[in-house]
Structure 1
């Protein structure tokens, strides 16, 4: 390991599984002090054990402002600043137009939009000038998916947060970029597609549409996040980086 993030303080929301877990582990292996969030205690404990190194788990729902405050209180107990925020917590469910409920709308926007907004805003007093913020968007930000309009709308909002926040934060030289994964082999995707054989058939079908010939791995998305967070991306600001095997580029 290069220890590229030695002594850096990194916050990864939604860090107990999938892309968040893979990214938190990668940061830890590169020497960072990592804080992760997740809703479930058991998953949090397992993630902390899997990540190793200097990792702290803070149980919470990033759609709730009080839980975001507890996250940053935990950071301040150990550090005076934050270098990198990966606002990754999110999720969604299928619901076609005509069957969308207020509860479905509220839950998805609270987690994916409200949560990201206030995760970043509340980090600002601790975030170092010249720091890096990475937001998890999705290929659905530019590509339509049946019965997935609410989730897709939240991810389009995330992409536009990056465009606007680079203007709000330009005097502090804080970079904000969005990462947009395609279909990635995570527990969340497995559950979304119905688990078991149903999920496997869906993933195989989607893989057939991707020029790379397969779906992504969480570790591949993590590497892209690490790039955006690093000094190697010092002149990369406000972009949407697609990590999708070429799926939405054709």
Structure 2
């Protein structure tokens, strides 16, 4: 369904992790609202498929990037500078799911997850800041798991807590430039990865804990990101927005 607003006319937006799931849905939402969008992701085949699906012509640029690699991020920034000269929105969304009991986490696994989920977000923001226009907006992806203890999620949740605090700290640091920085914490979202890796029984168990009575969609999260990145959220800064159907704050009626 077309979006009947033009909140991002004339705006340039970067979406990392933009080839699938939440990132792809957000890129589509921003395009629908008038933005020119750069999507970045690791796999070129996935990027090519996203470009075909979004079908936005020269309003869309795709760059293959591993956010854990600083040289890749430098190349991304150079590409954006060459084509557009600036950014108005940065959605630092690239991340990986990683769930292991604490005792099973090796040094290599620790480094792998931290490199993408925290280092990647940190340096995506740092390296794009020189391009980000004053009064711009940054949104980073955290997780509902930072708000509750989750078994086998100690490493994953710690990285997501790190980016949530990063957003709050940068909201203060970038205030002189009137750049707003917020985070989103998605709940159970039925992304392609979730569909592929979670059993039907586990999905049903998850739904039972959500007051809204359903899993979220990537489009649900994309709408929240677009709001936070837009002038409609001009007085919202340093906040974490739970997009979780009431998972954290509300008890489903069926559980009472």
Structure 2: distance between partners of 1:184 and 1:41: 24
Cα distance per residue 1:19-68 (max 9 Å; x no partner):
00000011111111100111111110010111222111100110111111
1:123 aligns with 2:128: yes
| Kept after mapping to 1: 8 A contact 2:37/2:61 | yes
| Kept after mapping to 2: 8 A contact 1:93/1:192 | no
Q: Normalising by structure 2, what TM-score?
A: 0.93
Question: After the TM superposition, which residues 135-174 of structure 1 pair with which residues of structure 2 at under 5 Å, given as runs?
Answer: 135-174=140-179
| Kept after mapping to 2: 8 A contact 1:28/1:52 | no
2:42 aligns with 39
RMSD value, Cα: 1.0
Cα distance per residue 1:127-156 (max 9 Å; x no partner):
000000000000011111111110000011
Q: How many residues align?
A: 245
Gaps of 5+ in 2: 251-256
Structure 2: distance between partners of 1:149 and 1:92: 12
Structure 1: distance between partners of 2:197 and 2:150: 13
Q: Which sits farther off after the overlay, 184-193 or 43-52? A: 184-193
1:93 aligns with 2:126: no
1:212 aligns with 2:225: no
Runs of 4+ in 1 over 2 A off after TM superposition: 190-193
Structure 2: distance between partners of 1:98 and 1:162: 29
| Kept after mapping to 2: 8 A contact 1:87/1:133 | yes
Give the secondary-structure state (helix, strand or coil) at the position aligned to 2:185: strand
1:196 aligns with none
Structure 2: distance between partners of 1:203 and 1:192: 10
1:186 aligns with 191
Q: 1:72 aligns with which of 72, 77, 87?
A: 77
Per-residue deviation at 1:192?
4.0
| Kept after mapping to 2: 8 A contact 1:87/1:116 | yes
Q: Normalising by structure 1, what TM-score?
A: 0.96
Structure 2: distance between partners of 1:145 and 1:128: 38
